[in-house]
Amino acid sequence: MTDHDPTQALAEFAAGLRFDAIPAAVIRRSEDLFLDWFASALAGKGARPVEAIARFIEAMGPAQGERGPSEVLIHRRGSSPLVAAVANAAASHYAEQDDVHNGSVFHPATVVFPPALAVAQALRKSGRELLTACVAGYEVGIRVGEFLGRSHYRIFHTTGTAGTFAAAAAVGHLLGLTAAQMRHAFGSAGTQSAGLWEFLRDAADSKQLHTAHAAAAGLTAAYLAQDGFTGARRILDGAQGLAAGMSSDADATRLADGLGTRWALAETSFKFHAACRHTHPAADALLQVLTTHHLAATEIRAITALVHQAAIDVLGPVVDPQTVHQAKFSMGTVLGLVAVHGRAGLNEFDASWRDAAVRAVHDKVTMRLDAEVDRAYPARWIGKVVVETVDGREFHGQVREPKGDPGNTLSRAELEDKALRLALYRAGASADEMRRVIARVWALADEPIVTSFLARSDG
């Protein structure tokens, strides 16, 4: 492997990875992540931004009545790999239940699994081939996110930018690209990288477009590279490359860090609350205080969430959320739901995000930068809150690892329960159908050909 040229090292790794080189624990974890993603995609069914993107991309695909090999999960239709990748990427990033890698502040599943599954189904690849490609996508995308650093994330949605590389690596591996072709795919993926946080200020629909575009851009880049299309060789660290335009603290040593020995996929966290991950540490710390001291929401006078700077950057602009999705980026709303209902899940958001009791807590929440929390971030997401009561008491809560982090992860039983809830949330699948999907996912490495997971509709 070419350690002195990190982009080449990434390309060689993504092109050359083999199933037998991946530890069994990492394969099991990739199955866990696949199930979590699949269910998150079903939970996006019927969401207005998701359906708009799906309508557009399906109109660009095979004519009505024609079929394609790749599965659009929310509509149970077969279409082209590009159409399925776009629709599934948009759907899986709506419910705010898809995974996150702490160190890169990147949601890998929503940009890796959609294009990989679509292409694997089109090419009739095995479960082993699919999982191997997905591991390649995770390892590449996470390292690109780490390389771009904290300054990048302040303005750019890393899942939309680093996500193009993750998608290109996964699809490129399934296409059997050489290392040279993979590097060209990275060049074409990187020049399409996009995604800005400004959408949060307006409650705009852009977040699902970011993942849809990243999946499409990476898939396109890989197929073009297979056909001889060239991309910039120094797209990441060149004089006019990604870091030059999008980062002030990029670190090229992160790109090839531990390739083949450090499995970054295994560091990925599951989401417990149905909200932006930046709210989770404080939500868990508040739950700790409420449970330990048997406090009711009406007893709270003030809550101070002690946070890292990125939480302030991302959540700070959302002062008065106007939609349920924007509310998932409101620290006050998330802590209000936790205080009133004991959780900030999908149903709690839908039913109660504008309730007076939740709003009353929302108005009592402030965020404050905490030196210890900020130093630990992004490698660790520490949660701290200070709760003041109406009768003058003060309680401090602290969690070192939020629920879902690798050291406080979800068991397979918990993942199955979460998957069933997500599937039923918008009737994306019945309980029996989801149980069959779960059984298939746990044995995915043994599937000779990856076929559709859900019964096809006639529409």
Best CA proximity match to 325, nearest among 353, 299, 286: 353
Check residue 65 and give its pLDDT: 65
**pTM above 0.85?**
yes
pLDDT value of position 138: 98
Inter-residue long-range contacts of 1-9, CB under 8 Å, 24+ positions, other chains counted: 1/256, 1/259, 1/260, 3/256, 6/236, 6/237, 6/252, 6/253, 6/255, 6/256, 7/183, 7/186, 7/233, 7/234, 7/235, 7/236, 7/237, 7/255, 8/179, 8/183, 9/255, 9/256, 9/259
Distance of CA 59 to the CA centre of its chain: 26
pLDDT for residue 1: 44
Q: What is the pLDDT of residues 127-183, one digit of tens each?
A: 999 999 999 999 999 999 999 999 999 999 999 999 999 999 999 999 999 999 999
Q: List the domains of the chain with CATH numbers.
A: 6-267 (1.10.4100.10), 277-403 (3.30.1330.120)
Task: For residue range 432-446, list pLDDT tens digits in order.
Answer: 999 999 999 999 999
Intervals of the chain under pLDDT 50: 1-3
